[in-house]
A = this chain, B = another copy of it.
């Protein structure tokens, strides 16, 4: 948290408060992070799974634009600041035990959210059950990239960690 911004969060006191109350009392994990599911507000498509620290969650609430904690760059990440693909929050929700956030967003610019260049980070399907026979492991669901990563990010290091 920055010193100028008073905490938006309540202490976690009881299960009833956390599950059934109207106090925002998020649970950050040992790394100080909370998971954030981001979906397209119109299509419902899941765009990405990100992580927020206290500052990122506070800034998202205060500004209405998605901020995350970049685990690869270890820095606050105002999504779209480099690429123009800002995520305007249409609705934010929190889950029962308040350890996960759901953002329904409108993506500005070309509408992409994935650093590989696709609209969604979830551009490959995993066949399951009876659908598995005779198929490759993964099936691409997006055929063309919305942007070429090199054009947007230049030679910045790829965030994927093996």
Contact = CB atoms under 8 A, between A and B. Distances in A.
Interface string A118-143: 10011111111111100011111100
A1 to B, nearest CB: 16
A42 to B, nearest CB: 10
Contact of A138 (B24, B35, B97, B122): B24
Contacts of A148: none
* A interface secondary structure, majority: loop
Q: How many copies does the complex hold?
A: 2
Interface in A7-56: 8, 10, 12-15, 18-24, 27, 35, 37, 39, 43-46, 48-49
Interface in A42-95: 43-46, 48-49, 60-64, 89, 91-95
Interface of A: 8, 10, 12-15, 18-24, 27, 35, 37, 39, 43-46, 48-49, 60-64, 89, 91-97, 100-102, 114-116, 118, 121-132, 136-141, 158-162
Given A95-B122, A137-B23, A128 B49 contact: no
Given A44-B45, A128-B64, A122 B136 contact: no
Q: Which 10 A-B pairs have the closest CB atoms?
A: A44-B44, A64-B129, A24-B137, A97-B160, A93-B122, A95-B121, A49-B100, A92-B126, A22-B138, A22-B136
Contact of A23 (B22, B49, B138): B138
